[in-house]
């Protein structure tokens, strides 16, 4: 009996020692050399000109620039994979975009890094965050303060990690808490879940909400988790409670990855990504005494599955004027060897008097315009497709205003081949959505309209994965004209409607001549009031430092 106890004791001791070692063990550092940069902007710019990794990224962009499906004015992966965008922020006159980069030389998640003065022209910078001691650097957010920028992210197999940077281009990062919030270890039962965090500050206290999922939904199904933590020093964090109260919008199966929490107008918005249904948001009220968020409205950024070729995760920050700037990454629908991953154009979200989120393109995209073409008033006869013969292209900006009259459906086809074997269809259905009074009691006897982006005929290629149409609600007043603001960039189409809604998808035309545009009014006549089209320039032709402030 004593021998059994001794053996049991020895076994347990060895097992616990191995378990403790495994929990404390560090993963290997990145194979990509981490370099320390100067703290002076002029010196940093000189160092970047000679930096081997930046030179490598520039060479990759040059190598892939002629790929048929590589966008020229949407940010794309310099090489390998771009996944979730992270920590969009504004610091010392520049915008900084971080993203999940899986470099070919170390195929683990790092935080890739790019900088811009206008949210359109981007310059690649060295990697910001490298794995080690965590296995991989997953998603997170940033908080820009007067003296530093704080990054908080999920370090795989460790927990949420805090790092800070204070130099002009955010090139040097110090991890000050590894981890700040340890992950839930196997076998533990805790009242919170540790995954992707969002961070903000109230007075002298930092707050973080970690998204994810728990198995506490109906029938023990998975459901979203939003755990709130607080800290005075960014190193020691205390669990508070579940962040959301009375949230009844999300069904079982959803999670809340890649969260961002910002004020918008006189309310707050919680943006997140669900691995079930994609990118979405909750609008509501934030109680600062309780430190709880009460959602009152739910909306989406993708309206069918995010796979294939759909909108994926958000990265968002305040614009300092009551709005929120958000950038999403886009999933692929076709293999593109050597590189994968692009982002949408920046979008500005604002709140209107009806508590509805308005969406418009943001950044200095107008600086890319060239070869302007204008079309004056044009009648659109019922059921007749009108081909715009003199306007073609696959890197365009289109602004069209249409008097719908009584037409039940307006259609614009882009990336259309002359034989119409390939085309991408944009359709607007006036008053074909649900009754608005069901979502907003102040809007009686009015209905949502619908905007559709259909890619089923965008490509004849056998390796392009087709997707169902994006179909989104949008409200137009009874006498309001339809205003389409469309961005086409090789393999992405973004359609903004009256600055109130946007639908987006990846496309892969197989024919070089699939560059045409056509218009059609169903049932009755409509009128094209005017249309302006610009060919768009590449943002990568100039990779020098003159667009860094």
Block means of pLDDT (10 residues each) for the chain, 549 residues, are: 41 36 65 95 96 96 95 97 97 98 96 97 98 97 98 97 98 97 81 94 97 82 92 97 95 94 98 96 98 96 94 98 98 95 98 92 98 97 97 98 97 98 97 74 76 98 94 94 98 98 98 98 98 96 56
Domain boundary among 363, 393, 419: 363
Q: Are residues 299 and 441 in the same domain?
A: no
Q: Are residues 447 and 334 in the same domain?
A: no
262 backbone φψ class: left, alpha, beta (φ>0; ψ -120 to 50): beta
pLDDT at 25: 53
- Contact between 442 and 419 under an 8 Å Cβ cutoff? The reply is no
Domain interval for residue 307: 40-363
Q: CATH no. for residue 431?
A: 2.60.120.560
Q: Is residue 508 part of a domain?
A: yes
Q: Is residue 144 part of a domain?
A: yes
Between CA 121 and CA 118 the distance in angstroms is 6
Instruction: Tell me the two tokens of residue 248.
Output: 């009844």
- H/E stretch holding 487 reads strand 482-489
Q: Are residues 298 and 402 in the same domain?
A: no
pLDDT at 22: 41
Domain boundary among 319, 344, 363: 363
Q: CATH no. for residue 248?
A: 2.115.10.20
- Contact between 40 and 47 under an 8 Å Cβ cutoff? The reply is no
**What letters, b where the CB count within 10 A reaches 16 and e where it falls short, cover 361-393?**
bbbebeebeeeebebeeeebeeeeeeebeebbb
Task: Name the domain count of the chain.
Answer: 2
Residue pLDDT, tens place only, 288-340: 999 999 999 999 999 988 999 999 999 999 999 999 999 999 999 999 999 99
pLDDT at 442: 62
Domain boundary among 308, 335, 363: 363
Q: Are residues 372 and 357 in the same domain?
A: no
Between CA 115 and CA 102 the distance in angstroms is 19
pLDDT at 264: 98
Q: Is residue 15 part of a domain?
A: no
Q: Are residues 215 and 319 in the same domain?
A: yes
Q: Are residues 473 and 338 in the same domain?
A: no
Q: Are residues 298 and 375 in the same domain?
A: no
pLDDT at 247: 94
Q: Is residue 542 part of a domain?
A: no
Instruction: Tell me the two tokens of residue 150.
Output: 């704080």
Q: Are residues 396 and 343 in the same domain?
A: no
Between CA 547 and CA 118 the distance in angstroms is 8
Q: Are residues 274 and 310 in the same domain?
A: yes
pLDDT at 278: 96
Q: Is residue 421 part of a domain?
A: yes
Q: Is residue 11 part of a domain?
A: no
Between CA 430 and CA 269 the distance in angstroms is 28
Q: Are residues 95 and 176 in the same domain?
A: yes
Whole-model pTM? 0.93
Between CA 285 and CA 266 the distance in angstroms is 9
Q: Is residue 114 part of a domain?
A: yes
Q: Are residues 355 and 371 in the same domain?
A: no
């Amino acid at each position: 009996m004593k021998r059994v106890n001794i053996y049991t004791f020895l076994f347990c001791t060895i097992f616990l020692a191995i378990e403790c070692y495994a929990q404390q063990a560090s993963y290997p550092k990145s194979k990509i050399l981490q370099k320390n940069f100067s703290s002076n902007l002029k010196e940093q710019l000189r160092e970047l000109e000679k930096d081997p990794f930046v030179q490598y990224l520039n060479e990759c962009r040059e190598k892939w620039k002629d790929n048929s499906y590589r966008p020229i004015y949407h940010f794309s992966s310099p090489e390998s994979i771009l996944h979730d965008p992270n920590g969009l922020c504004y610091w010392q006159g520049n915008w900084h975009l971080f993203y999940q980069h899986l470099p070919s030389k170390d195929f683990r998640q790092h935080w890739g890094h790019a900088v811009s003065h206008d949210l359109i022209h981007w310059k690649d910078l060295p990697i910001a965050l490298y794995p080690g001691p965590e296995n991989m650097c997953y998603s997170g957010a940033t908080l820009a303060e007067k003296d530093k920028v704080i990054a908080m992210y999920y370090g795989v197999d460790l927990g949420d990690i805090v790092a800070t940077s204070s130099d002009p281009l955010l090139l040097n990062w110090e991890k000050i808490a590894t981890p700040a919030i340890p992950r839930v270890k196997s076998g533990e039962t805790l009242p919170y879940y540790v995954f992707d965090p969002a961070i903000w500050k109230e007075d002298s206290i930092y707050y973080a909400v970690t998204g994810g999922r728990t198995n506490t939904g109906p029938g023990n199904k998975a459901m979203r988790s939003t755990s709130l933590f607080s800290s005075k020093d960014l190193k020691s964090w205390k669990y508070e409670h579940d962040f959301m109260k009375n949230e009844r919008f999300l069904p079982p199966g959803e999670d809340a990855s890649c969260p961002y929490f910002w004020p918008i107008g006189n309310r707050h918005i919680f943006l997140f990504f669900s691995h079930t249904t994609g990118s979405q948001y909750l609008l509501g009220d934030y109680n600062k005494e309780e430190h709880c968020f009460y959602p009152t409205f739910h909306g989406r950024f993708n309206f069918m599955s995010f796979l294939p070729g759909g909108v994926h995760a958000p990265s968002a920050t305040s614009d300092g004027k009551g709005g929120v700037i958000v950038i999403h990454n886009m999933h692929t629908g076709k293999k593109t060897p050597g590189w994968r991953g692009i982002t949408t154009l920046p979008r500005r979200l604002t709140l209107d008097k009806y508590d509805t989120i308005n969406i418009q393109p943001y950044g200095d995209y107008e600086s890319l315009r060239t070869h302007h073409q204008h079309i004056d008033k044009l009648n659109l006869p019922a059921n007749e497709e009108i081909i715009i013969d003199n306007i073609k292209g696959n890197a365009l900006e289109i602004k069209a205003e249409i008097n719908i009259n009584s037409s039940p459906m307006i259609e614009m086809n882009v990336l259309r081949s002359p034989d119409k074997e390939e085309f991408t269809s944009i359709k607007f259905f006036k008053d074909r959505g649900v009754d608005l009074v069901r979502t907003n009691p102040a809007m009686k006897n009015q209905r949502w309209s619908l905007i559709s982006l259909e890619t089923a005929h965008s490509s004849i290629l056998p390796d392009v994965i087709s997707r169902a149409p994006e179909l989104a609600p949008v409200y137009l007043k009874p006498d309001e004209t339809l205003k389409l603001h469309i961005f086409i960039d090789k393999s992405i189409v973004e359609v903004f409607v009256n600055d109130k809604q946007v639908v987006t998808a990846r496309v892969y035309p197989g024919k070089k001549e699939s560059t045409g545009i056509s218009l059609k009014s169903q049932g009755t006549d409509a009128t094209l009031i005017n249309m302006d089209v610009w060919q768009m320039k590449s943002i990568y032709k100039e990779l020098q430092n003159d667009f860094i402030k």
